[in-house]
Amino acid sequence: MKIKSKSRAEDTTARRHMEPAPSTVASNALPSFKSSFNTQKLHTYQGGTSKMVNVDAFPASKSVAGVFMTLEPGGLRELHWHANAAEWSYVFEGNMRVTILDPSGRSQIADLGPGDLWYFPKGYAHSLEGRGPGTATFLLAFDNGAFDEFATFDITDWIAHTPKEIVAKSLGLSIDEVDALPKREVYISQGTVPPPLSRTRAHGGPQFSTPLSHVFHLRAQKPFKEGPDGQVWRASQREFPMSTTMTGLFMRIQPGGLRELHWHPNADEWQYVSKGRIRLAVFAASGRASVVELGPGDVGFVPMGFGHALESVGDEPAEAVIILNSGDYQEISLSGWIASNPDYVLETNLPNVPTSVIEQLPRRERFFAGPKR
Ligand code: MN
Ligand code: MN
């Protein structure tokens, strides 16, 4: 009798937990996993342009913000740093030069072209320049959704907002000489096309160079995974040791191809689609899920640990730059997981499924997949 009443009490508790309270309905709603650069304000300067998607435009992405920038030949994104994020960037078109100074007084001046990328740890001093010919176009990603490209630490803004006497003493200039410096933030400035790297010297003469490069030629590498349905190039800390807090991927998926169901145990994922159309399916547990379609200029997001897949649904191959907010690339794929389990576990897990179907389940990780041929 006692046992029976106890079990009835447990039943009541269980039922109570299953009844949705009004407040649970709201907390079950998912944020949108899609945003876009296409609807953001374009900031135009002599020498280049800039557009941003941060957490204000994409509330789901608290961990990654993006900027799409262009620089004309000789256009300079001025000497600056970021207080709250590391900077990662992939060059789509044109040629670039970057300058970097690290906190140990070691510097690098490096040239990049299409398919190359750079990584600057949080707070490192840097500048960006278009080398021509043509406009350089590149995507910047920052490992903090609250990053604000229009609130970076630019040297002209700093000088213009510091007492003249302090600037004069700090730089060893006279007050008259300080008066000749810019009175407001420059941000992007138009200069002349830079000389070849071989004829480029630092203002202070030879410098100590950084032991690890801040630049990586991603698309010159062998793909990390490759098959009839897609290719992916990877720059995790393993391939690009400088990149300690971010992994970057360039992914191409053939029409009808799929980046299979998987998740990342240790990182959020942020996607920028540069070509084609991608259907992003996200699984958020407890019967919650989201499907969004992304086209060129759109951005997708998948929180850490959430299951997801990317499907190329257009007529041309889809291409995307994918950012994970860890330099340690980790993933678990559904196919590899199934392959690692005994048949009896799979049969019990999938009740009443014919053995003929169980036998067809994957026996190894697929990564890219297509329709059954
Ligand atoms: Mn920067
Ligand atoms: Mn993923």
pLDDT in tens, 252-299: 999 999 999 999 999 999 999 999 999 999 999 999 999 999 999 999
pLDDT of 371:
86
Q: Which ligand is nearest to the CA of 142?
A: 1
- For residue 67 the two structure tokens come to 């900027």
Q: Which ligand is nearest to the CA of 334?
A: 2
pLDDT mean over 19-48: 80
Residue 368 has pLDDT above 50, yes or no: yes
How many domains does the chain contain in total?
2
Calculate how far, in angstroms, residue 264's C-alpha sits from the geometric centre of ligand 2. 6
- Specify whether 71 is located in the same domain as 144: yes
Q: Is residue 14 part of a domain?
A: no
Calculate how far, in angstroms, residue 80's C-alpha sits from the geometric centre of ligand 1. 6
Q: Which ligand is nearest to the CA of 120?
A: 1
Could you count the other beta carbons within 10 Å of the beta carbon of residue 274?
19
Q: Is residue 22 part of a domain?
A: no
pLDDT of 330:
98
Q: Is residue 322 part of a domain?
A: yes
- Specify whether 188 is located in the same domain as 76: yes
Note the pLDDT tens digit of each residue in 218-253. Answer: 999 999 999 999 999 999 999 999 999 999 999 999
Note the pLDDT tens digit of each residue in 135-175. Answer: 999 999 999 999 998 889 999 999 999 999 999 999 999 99
Q: Which domain holds residue 128?
A: 34-216
What CATH number corresponds to the domain at position 105?
A: 2.60.120.10
pLDDT of 257:
98
CA 120/CA 80 separation, integer angstroms: 12
216, 241, 266: which is the final residue of a domain? 216
pLDDT band of 6, cuts 50, 70, 90: very low
- Specify whether 58 is located in the same domain as 195: yes
Q: Is residue 13 part of a domain?
A: no
- Specify whether 188 is located in the same domain as 232: no
Reference 255, options 312, 319, 321; nearest CA is: 312
- Specify whether 322 is located in the same domain as 223: yes
Calculate how far, in angstroms, residue 291's C-alpha sits from the geometric centre of ligand 1. 33
158, 188, 216: which is the final residue of a domain? 216
Calculate how far, in angstroms, residue 310's C-alpha sits from the geometric centre of ligand 1. 29
- Report CA-CA distances (Å) from 276 to 89, 138, 294: 21, 18, 9
pTM of the model: 0.91
- Specify whether 64 is located in the same domain as 195: yes
Q: Is residue 16 part of a domain?
A: no
- Specify whether 211 is located in the same domain as 223: no
CA 63/CA 268 separation, integer angstroms: 7
201, 216, 231: which is the final residue of a domain? 216
Residue 112 has pLDDT above 50, yes or no: yes
Residue 23 has pLDDT above 80, yes or no: no
pLDDT of 26:
42
Catalytic residues: 77, 80, 82, 87, 126, 149
Residue 19 has pLDDT above 60, yes or no: no
8 Å CB contact between 8 and 1: no
- Report CA-CA distances (Å) from 19 to 25, 81, 325: 10, 51, 37
Calculate how far, in angstroms, residue 93's C-alpha sits from the geometric centre of ligand 2. 25
pLDDT mean over 301-330: 98
- Specify whether 165 is located in the same domain as 241: no
- Specify whether 184 is located in the same domain as 333: no
pLDDT of 275:
98
